[in-house]
Structure 1
Amino acid sequence: MSELDPVDPTVAANKPRRKRTDEIVDAIKRMIVEHGLGPGDRLPQERELIVQFAAGKGTVREALKALEVQGLISVRTGPGGGAFIERMSEGRAMSLLSNFLFAKNLSIANIYEMRKVLEPQVAASATPQIDEAGLKRLEAIISVYDHEPESATERWNQRMAELDFHSVVAEYSDNPILAFTCRFLQRLLKDLTIAQDIYLQPEPVLRASGIRHQRALIAAMRRRDPAAAAKILTEHMAEAEQHMLDLQAKLMDRFLTEDAEPARARKRRSA
């Protein structure tokens, strides 16, 4: 294996000096990319890194630990041990981002503000790429929720499938950052507490218009019309946002009414 590139010692005068650990982390990341290392490949041994970076054992171990926390490597002890490249799954990356946003008080409106911008773009970028098998997957997903549910479990599965439809669209985008971001927003909706409360409500969900948009999207993609796909998703996302916000308002009104009932009962008893 080629040696790691040394960390560039020159630092612009107006730049704050970075921690040595961070410099080593960045150098190792560059090496992984430049040398085409993949899951299972081993990094140089700790003693080699110490010599190469002229760094102390503690500094090198801190850098390796940072990479391990990020999910990029795993450190194994014992015979044959060392630091090995790990496959960073999309699920793990999303979990890390979700943890970062945990205390940010995300709202449905926050998520749809992003979806309204990005979902039309991801649909347009997927349109030239999607094949007939992908279009049939989308049609099959619609069949999951094109009828009223017979149970609470089916109702929940239908709501999840509505989001899965857009996840499949994103799979065919040629922009990996755009696709990942859209799938992440879809996951946030699945995990957001207020959204889950809405999905669990037994009231009928008006899906007819949304399904019309989705079938129109499939038709636009089949005829390779990115502009039409983007226009359809712009309308669909605006309508979906309004629908979710209306359901949220109804749910909050219901909670307020239920909370007020015990107070009125206590007042009658004390009169």
Structure 2
Amino acid sequence: MPADDIPAAPVAPPKTRRLRKRTDEIVDALKATMIKHGLEPGDRLPQEKELMSQYAASKGTIREALKSLEVQGLVRMRTGPGGGAFVERMSERRAMSLLGNYFFAKQITIADIYALRKALEPIVAVSAMANIDEAGFQRLEDIITVYDHPARDAEERWAQRMAELDFHTVVAEYSDNALLSFQCRFLQRLLKDLAVCRDIYLHPQPVLRQRGIAFQRELIAAMRQSDAAQVRQIMAAHMAHAEEQMLTLQAEVEQRFIEG
């Protein structure tokens, strides 16, 4: 839809005492406009002067609102002829990066992450059953082959640990609940990025993962049979086992540090 044909979403009239900044109100109104009119990445918002008129706002206020949308990853500003504010779609990678930055100084622990994984992973696996196809099952089987044998060196050991998490990322991709899927994949990303986890993954001691692989093969079989109760039970046991393994490895790493 041409930018000039997009009617403005309503903005609350100015008040003497504001609970919210005018800029924030305009940001919310522009978001509502993008959703209401189904604007796609690459579509242009109305020009600055048009926005000033629509929202009875100064140039500085409009620019601040557009800058806020740009920082949020929802628009991209272009300068020069044909420039303006263009709709962007925030990638999952960027969303997770921003959320990860929020938790950067929060001292998240392995136990914190698994408290949520134990609750959410069984649910996301059940929700994936209706959507996963043979290609999806093959992806899971192929991932298992990455770590079903001892690592030859540190590089392969690292790749195996990442692949173990990728297995669960693929399961979550097939969930029909976008919010649940994102939460599970974010927790998996935390396990890849958390400093204490990186120390564990670099630990030279071989990892006993055969029980974990057994859980994963049992999970695939139960998902093929659309057995929700079994899927939920297997994943819950798998997560409890994974937490136990991670906490044991963490204790070993910390002990090596003390002794080192």
Q: Distance in 2 between matches of 1:257 and 1:77?
A: 58
User: Does structure 2 conserve the Cα–Cα contact (< 8 Å) formed by 1:216 and 1:232?
Assistant: yes
Q: Distance in 2 between matches of 1:245 and 1:9?
A: 55
Residue 87 of structure 1 and its aligned partner are, at CA, apart by: 2.1
Residue 202 of structure 1 and its aligned partner are, at CA, apart by: 1.1
Match of 1:38 in 2: 40
Tell me the percent identity. Answer: 64
Residue 10 of structure 1 and its aligned partner are, at CA, apart by: 9.3
Which amino acid in 1 is paired with 2:162? M
Match of 1:184 in 2: 186
Aligned ranges 1:67-106 → 2 under 5 Å: 67-106=69-108
List alignment gaps of at least 5 residues for structure 1.
259-271
Match of 1:120 in 2: 122
Q: Distance in 2 between matches of 1:120 and 1:257?
A: 38
Question: Is 1:2 paired with 2:2?
Answer: no
Q: Distance in 2 between matches of 1:21 and 1:82?
A: 18
Q: 1:135 to 1:51 in 2, by over 3 A?
A: same
Match of 2:55 in 1: 53
Match of 2:228 in 1: 226
TM-score, normalised relative to structure 1? 0.92
Which amino acid in 2 is paired with 1:232? I
Aligned match for 1:211, one of 200, 203, 213: 213
TM-score, normalised relative to structure 2? 0.95
List alignment gaps of at least 5 residues for structure 2.
none
User: Does structure 2 conserve the Cα–Cα contact (< 8 Å) formed by 1:6 and 1:52?
Assistant: no
Name the SS of the counterpart of 1:103 in structure 2. Answer: coil
Larger Rg: 1
Cα RMSD over matched residues? 1.4
Residue 8 of structure 1 and its aligned partner are, at CA, apart by: 3.1
Residue by residue over 1:65-117, the C-alpha shift from the partner in whole angstroms, topping out at 9 and shown as x without a partner, is: 00000001011111000000112110000011011111111111111111111
User: Does structure 1 conserve the Cα–Cα contact (< 8 Å) formed by 2:24 and 2:65?
Assistant: yes
Equivalences, count: 255
Which amino acid in 2 is paired with 1:7? V
Which amino acid in 2 is paired with 1:67? L
Q: Distance in 2 between matches of 1:19 and 1:227?
A: 50
User: Does structure 2 conserve the Cα–Cα contact (< 8 Å) formed by 1:128 and 1:226?
Assistant: no
Match of 1:160 in 2: 162
Q: Distance in 2 between matches of 1:130 and 1:174?
A: 10
Q: Distance in 2 between matches of 1:86 and 1:163?
A: 29
Name the SS of the counterpart of 1:74 in structure 2. Answer: strand
Q: Distance in 1 between matches of 2:79 and 2:202?
A: 47
Moved over 2 A (4+): 8-11
Residue by residue over 1:180-206, the C-alpha shift from the partner in whole angstroms, topping out at 9 and shown as x without a partner, is: 111111011000011001001111101
Q: Distance in 2 between matches of 1:238 and 1:249?
A: 17
User: Does structure 1 conserve the Cα–Cα contact (< 8 Å) formed by 2:6 and 2:46?
Assistant: no
Q: Distance in 1 between matches of 2:207 and 2:101?
A: 30
User: Does structure 2 conserve the Cα–Cα contact (< 8 Å) formed by 1:7 and 1:23?
Assistant: yes
Q: Distance in 2 between matches of 1:249 and 1:70?
A: 39
Residue by residue over 1:35-62, the C-alpha shift from the partner in whole angstroms, topping out at 9 and shown as x without a partner, is: 0001000000011111111011111111
Residue 2 of structure 1 and its aligned partner are, at CA, apart by: 1.9
